[in-house]
Amino acid sequence: MMHLNLQIKMLPCLFHLLTGFYCPGCGGTRAILLLFRGDFAGSFQYHPLVLYGVLVFGIEWVLFLASIGRPGKPDKDGRVWQRAKRYCLGLERRYRFWTLAAAGIVLINWLVKNLFLAAGIDLLLPLA
């Protein structure tokens, strides 16, 4: 099996360059790269919102598939559309929770990274 070693040159964060602290999104690109490499712990360390997004997408995908029923089954009286509509109404109710949880993750992540940085511990070292 051939292993590709990709060296990706990323643009520096302007907020970090100007203030010395991390912005709420710092680490997101590296978290995605680590997720693609299969390093879930590293991805979580760099930005937990990435794994949260994958988890939410997976949950919603399973809920959607469960709501429309088995594929290929004849749709009598438009029941698939009714179930899909019911799923969308449920998504509207869950959307507020997903969004507030994401905002909380970003805020806590931002505070923790900068508190560690102020103590001299950099959690967002460049990727090798």
SS3 content of the chain, % helix, strand, coil (to 5): 65, 0, 35
Q: How far apart are CA 53 and CA 61, in angstroms?
A: 12
- Residue in 55, 124, 49 with CA at minimum distance from that of residue 94: 55
Q: What is the pTM of this model?
A: 0.79
Please say whether the dihedral angle defined by the alpha carbons of residues 118, 121, 124 and 125, taken in this order, is positive or negative.
positive
Query: How confident is the model at residue 55, as a pLDDT?
Result: 96
φ, ψ at 127 (rounded to 5°): -80, 145
Q: Cβ distance 28 to 119 under 8 Å? A: no
| Range in 21-30, 49-58, 98-107 the model is least confident about | 21-30
Query: How confident is the model at residue 78, as a pLDDT?
Result: 66
Helices (H) and strands (E) in the chain, counts: 5, 0
Mean pLDDT value across residues 3-20? 73
Query: How confident is the model at residue 8, as a pLDDT?
Result: 58
pLDDT confidence bin for 75, thresholds 50/70/90:
low
Mean pLDDT value across residues 58-68? 87
Tokens 């507030």 correspond to 100
| Range in 17-31, 48-62, 65-79 the model is least confident about | 65-79
Query: How confident is the model at residue 77, as a pLDDT?
Result: 64
